[in-house]
Amino acid sequence: MNGYNRKSPQKRRYDMPKYAVPPKKKSGKERVPQPKNTVAMLNELRHGLIYKLESQTGPVHAPLFTISVEVDGQKYLGQGRSKKVARIEAAATALRSFIQFKDGAVLSPLKPAGNLDFTSDEHLENGIENVSKAELVELIYTLMLPEKKSNLTSLEQPTLRPQIFCMSHNATKSTIAVDGQKKVPDKGPVMLLYELFNDVNFECMNIDGAQNNCRFKMTVTINDKKFDGTGPSKKLAKNAAAKAALASLCNISYSPMMAPQKNAPLPIDDKTSSMELPQIHADTIGRLVLEKFMEVIKGQEAYSRRKVLAGIVMTENMNFCEAKVISVSTGTKCVSGEHMSVNGAVLNDSHAEIVSRRCLLKYLYAQLDLQCNQATAYQSIFVRNTDGQYPYKLKSGVHFHLYINTAPCGDARIFSPHENDTGVDKHPNRKARGQLRTKIESGEGTIPVKSSDGIQTWDGVLQGQRLLTMSCSDKIARWNIVGIQGSLLSAIIEPVYLHSIVLGSLLHPEHMYRAVCGRIEKSIQGLPPPYHLNKPRLALVTSAEPRNQAKAPNFGINWTIGDTELEVVNSLTGRTIGGQVSRITKQAFFDKYGFLVKNLPGMPNRKVTKDYGETKADVKDYQTAKQELFSAFKREDLGSWLKKPIEQDQFGLVE
């Protein structure tokens, strides 16, 4: 019997089906996920909250407790017959401020306020106060426990699937750093987008190789809204599309300007302001310039080859829906010394951003021309200045934004030539940082200026000495002191400054900020009002432009609003490919200046009697500001500004 008993269990196991399922343990109730109370939910959204007992009223046998909790600087109260219930009510009140109900049952994406204050009462207009705590808990419960959704009966389910508001726990926690300053989210854009929205659909639209860069284009559709992203791979294009969607719908930015930096750019006004241009605005600027380039190059695709593309966009009252592209240009070369002109008939510097600024000058002259006729004066972006020393000034709210598809040559680019150089500068105090640098004729790249008096001679250049031109980083730093209007127009209008600079690639905040304004901010002094140190806002577009390894062409194009066709310039000769004088040369602008002096209402002098160089020298405040700029560079031991041979400016008006 004992032997039989020992073997029988083995026999029974042998007779069982091969894939038998072990019997379930019987229990009175099936285990279901337990909902979190509002305190737990709120603690997940905001860490480190402190609940305080505000008061206790009522008789001893039936007390009424009032508990408060402070979230983002706003206090929320809750009452209950016990401290626990009062704490749950306080948390529920706080959670209501995070969620907007539409038609009584939908959690819709919110547009966060500029100060990221989600405690504002502005979004309580749709009857959120009428939503009970039970409904609130159920809706958030179904969101936080998706496995329970399938177990809900049709009667239990909301009429529409709830969506978490844009600045959810993950987004808010990721984008807010110490002192209220935002930082780059910890999660990737695609993952974060899937977390924030239910209906996310990516689609590879097409492959665009028109710009000699094989680029993928991805489109993401969210709530019937489409957002595009491009990149050298499908993955990068998908990331770019997700970044664009997050920037537009949730004000979440992945810009390098958001990353913590050791030598972070200083805010413009105070700790609450930022040097970052909002991502959605940056993307709009980049898209407008690229679209305009593709439009103006039609019919002359042979000249679409380029390494650097730049453009200037104008907005009024920061209304980007009606933004205008003022100029578009390409180019990376400077004129050869043998082609220098004694009558201002060549373009010395054909780098794209420099050419775009010259196109802007052409536009400013055209806008002042409108003031010469009373019937067209109202169309001008300028108005008469009745209370200042300058006859004219820009209309209030007019801003100019510079777009460059890569970091400007010189100090902004030389120390971080690759996109992934995102680490903190390990040697910020090296003497090479911030040094003035020059471009060389007929070539690319820059070299530091020598410690000299900054003079180039005409005969020296003609005898073979290479003609040197200050780098784009240095010229932009100059614009941020003396303005972008140039010396001639400074006799007519108040200084005009760039509101923002948007890059298509290679935005490294420390280097860029130092290059365009930071290296002289401590030493600049004695500027005559209204000249000042301008600190433009900086941004990187979400669809960063890939590096173009093709050899840079020897030509560049330029187009200004109002032009019927683009102009193609041979960068080495400084003239058009047909050998004509460009429409944006010194000579062309001096002629326009002479016309304005003669015809513009309110001008004190009506005749230009001196040559180009002497006329510029007579604009005292501009020259004072320029000399202060040069002195600031010297005080910082960053080198001397290198000037062109003075013979280039010794020409007069054509009679």
Residues 452 and 503 in one domain: yes
pLDDT at 114: 39
The pair of structure tokens assigned to 454 is 């900054």
Backbone angles phi, psi at 182, to 5 degrees: -75, 155
| Cα dist from 53 to 49, 94, 95, 228, 622, whole Å | 13, 16, 19, 51, 64
| Residue 337 pLDDT class (50, 70, 90 cuts) | confident
In a domain, 77, yes or no: yes
Whether 154 is covered by a domain: the verdict is no
**Co-location of 246 and 301 in the same domain:** no
- Assign 427 a pLDDT band (cuts: 50, 70, 90): low
Q: Are residues 239 and 298 in the same domain?
A: no
Residues 212, 349, single domain; the answer is: no
Domain of residue 237, CATH code: 3.30.160.20
Helical spans, DSSP H, in 400-471:
458-462
Q: Looking at per-residue confidence, does 655 or 512 come out higher?
A: 512
Average pLDDT over residues 377-403: 93
Confirm whether 526 is domain-assigned.
yes
Phi, psi (5° rounding) for residue 574? 75, 10
306 in the same domain as 210:
no
Please check whether residue 78 is in contact with residue 89, taking contact to mean a CB–CB distance below 8 angstroms: yes
Q: Please report which confidence band the pLDDT of residue 121 belongs to, taking 50, 70 and 90 as the band edges.
A: very low
Phi, psi of 73 (to 5 degrees): 85, 0
User: Are 206 and 90 in the same domain?
Assistant: no
- Kindly name the residue from 89, 353, 567, 628 that is annotated as catalytic: 353
- Tell me the CA distances in angstroms from 356 to 49, 96, 116, 353, 426, one per residue in order: 52, 50, 36, 5, 34
Domain assignment present for residue 637? The answer is yes
The CA distance from 222 to 89, in Å, is: 34
Place of tokens 């600049």: 524
CA 502/CA 540 separation, integer angstroms: 6
At 531 the pLDDT is 96
* Cβ atoms of 509 and 265 closer than 8 Å: yes
299 Cβ neighbours under 8 A, 6+ residues apart: none
**pLDDT tens, residue by residue, 140-161:** 544 444 444 444 333 333 333 3
Indicate whether 290 and 235 sit together in one domain: no
Q: What is the pLDDT of residue 141?
A: 47
Q: In the chain, what percentage of residues exceed pLDDT 90?
A: 48
Cα–Cα distances in angstroms (integers) from residue 124 to residues 39, 132, 374, in the given order: 21, 14, 51
262 lies in a domain? Answer: no
Alpha carbon distance 108, 86 (integer Å): 28
DSSP of 48-111: S--EEEEEEES-TTS-EEEEEEEETTEEEEEEESSHHHHHHHHHHHHHHTT--EETTTEEPPP-
Asked if the model's pLDDT at residue 313 lies above 60, the reply is yes
- Encode pLDDT of 344-388 as tens digits: 999 999 999 999 999 999 999 999 999 999 999 999 999 998 887
Assess if residue 161 is contained within a domain. Answer: no
Name which residue leads in pLDDT, 48 or 81. Answer: 81
| Contact criterion met (CB below 8 Å) for 307 and 548 | yes
Q: Which residue has the higher pLDDT, 121 or 471?
A: 471
Q: Within this chain, do residues 243 and 327 fall inside the same structural domain, yes or no? A: no
List the single range of 380-389, 390-399, 584-593 with lowest mean pLDDT: 380-389
pLDDT at 641 over 50: yes
Same structural domain, 485 and 374: yes
Model confidence at 522: pLDDT above 90: yes
pLDDT value at position 420?
Answer: 59
Question: Do 237 and 309 fall into the same domain?
Answer: no
* Torsion sign (Cα): 165, 169, 175, 177: positive
Question: What average pLDDT does the segment 469-485 reach?
Answer: 96
pLDDT exceeds 80 at position 333: yes
Query: Residue 649: what are its φ and ψ, rounded to 5°?
Result: -105, 10
* Dist. CA 183–CA 193, nearest whole Å: 17
pTM over 0.75: no
Q: Among residues 245, 268, 322, 291, which one has the least CA distance to residue 500? A: 268
Query: What is the structure's pLDDT at 358?
Result: 97
Q: For the segment 201-231, what is each residue's pLDDT rounded down to a tens digit?
A: 999 876 655 444 557 889 999 988 999 998 8
Give me the pLDDT at residue 517, please: 95
C-alpha to C-alpha distances, 482 to 498, 524, 534, 579, 622, nearest whole angstrom = 11, 12, 9, 33, 6
Helix axes 509-516, 472-482, angle to 10 degrees: 60
291 is catalytic: no
Residue found by looking up tokens 């979440």 in the block:
252
Q: Is residue 192 included in any domain, yes or no?
A: no
Which residue range is the domain that position 233 belongs to? 197-250
Query: 557 and 448, same structural domain?
Result: yes
Residue 407: per-residue pLDDT: 94
Residues 48-74 have pLDDT tens digits of: 788 999 999 888 888 999 999 988 888
pLDDT category of residue 171 using cuts at 50, 70 and 90: very low
pLDDT tens, 432-461?
A: 788 999 988 766 778 888 755 567 887 777
Q: Which residue has the tokens 């840079």?
A: 552
Structural tokens at position 617? 């020298």
Total residue length of the chain: 655
Q: How confident is the model at residue 551 (pLDDT cuts 50, 70, 90)?
A: confident
Predicted local distance difference test score (pLDDT) of residue 577: 94
HSE-up of residue 167 (Cα within 13 Å, Cβ side): 26
Q: Which of 96, 126, 142 marks a domain boundary?
A: 96
Helix ranges (DSSP H) in 272-312: 279-296
Q: Do 310 and 378 lie in a common domain?
A: yes
pLDDT, residue 441, reads 78
How high is the mean pLDDT of the chain? 80
For residue 44, what pLDDT band results from cuts at 50, 70 and 90?
Answer: confident
Question: Is 110 among the domain residues?
Answer: no
Structural domains of the chain, count: 3
